[in-house]
Amino acid sequence: MTFSGTDTSIPMDDRGLAYGDGLFETILVRGGVPTLWQHHLSRLRRGCEVLGFPCPSLTSLEAAFSSLKTSPNALNVVKLIVTRGSGGRGYLPPIEPQPRLLVRHFDFIPQQDRWEVVNRVRLSPLRLGHQPLLAGIKHLNRLENVLARQELMHANAARHHGSEYVEGILSDSNGTLIEATAMNVCWYEKGKWFTPALTSCGVAGTLRAALMTAGILTESSLTLLELAKVEAFCLLNSVQGVWPVYTIDDECSKPLWVAQPSPLHLSLQKAAHCLLGYEE
């Protein structure tokens, strides 16, 4: 059952609404062709396995792109939401769930200025909880991200000087670096790029996955106390690309890590933007 961009509503008994019982993917689409589609599909299918309901057919998923009326070089973002479908009152899932696929289309322009400027980020006071069962998948239980993003908005509103924070950095209850509110993170150390292993929390982004597959990014672990050894730091996701970061402030907006602008991120960024079709 697909509700497409032309539909405007979903049934009130949908379990995605009731319990966040579903998954989503946010896909960069260039001239009607989805980028990193195999990585999105792979994460969506893994999510369905974890939650225990069947993934919609490839045909129904790919119809989301063919229904998009667009010119050859136009950029869009297509958001797919897959829920467990309708259900009764109570947490018990229906024995034979009929997943619901929702499709939304958005025009899209990446924030290209952030590919080059001296981006600042701020550590979120929110610490991500550990739930290994749900780590990595892009499920609909995203209140931690919403609260962290909201807190960042308030922090930006309270700033009287200096540029705004472009993202909030999320660590877990152990003080281990995990992600940003809507992006993954990576750091450069002794000649290599690393990204947090997301076994206890966080969303495993598709650009992160593609760069790992390409051997450009390796999973590792970094606590906030170890930031001093980081030589370069970037944010990344599959719609915005790679943003270099030169300042990480703490929860009180005091500097935690500062780097001089450098070209260290350029090769990573070039590889990433090539995957997304952002190369010049």
**Which residues of this chain interact with a second copy, rule CB under 8 A?**
3, 7-21, 24, 26, 51-52, 77, 79, 81, 83, 89-93, 102, 104, 106, 126, 128-131, 133-134, 139-150, 153, 173, 181-182, 201
Nearest approach, Cβ of 164 to a second copy (angstroms)?
Answer: 12
Nearest approach, Cβ of 145 to a second copy (angstroms)?
Answer: 5
Provide Rg for the chain, Cα atoms. Answer: 19
Q: Which is nearer to a second copy, 17 or 264 (CB)?
A: 17
Q: Which residue has the tokens 């719609």?
A: 239
Q: Which is nearer to a second copy, 50 or 259 (CB)?
A: 50
> Which DSSP string do the residues of 182-198 spell out, in sequence order?
SSEEEEEETTEEEEE--
Residues in contact with 93: Cβ distance below 8 Å, sequence separation at least 6, in sequence order: 15, 21, 52, 53, 84, 87
Nearest approach, Cβ of 228 to a second copy (angstroms)?
Answer: 28
Q: Which is nearer to a second copy, 16 or 196 (CB)?
A: 16
* DSSP for residue 161: S
Angstrom distance (rounded) from CA 103 to CA 56: 12
* Backbone CA torsion sign across 180, 191, 266, 215: negative
Angstrom distance (rounded) from CA 181 to CA 148: 7
Q: Which is nearer to a second copy, 127 or 270 (CB)?
A: 127
Nearest approach, Cβ of 63 to a second copy (angstroms)?
Answer: 17
Nearest approach, Cβ of 54 to a second copy (angstroms)?
Answer: 14
Q: Which is nearer to a second copy, 21 or 249 (CB)?
A: 21
Q: Which residue has the tokens 């908005």?
A: 153
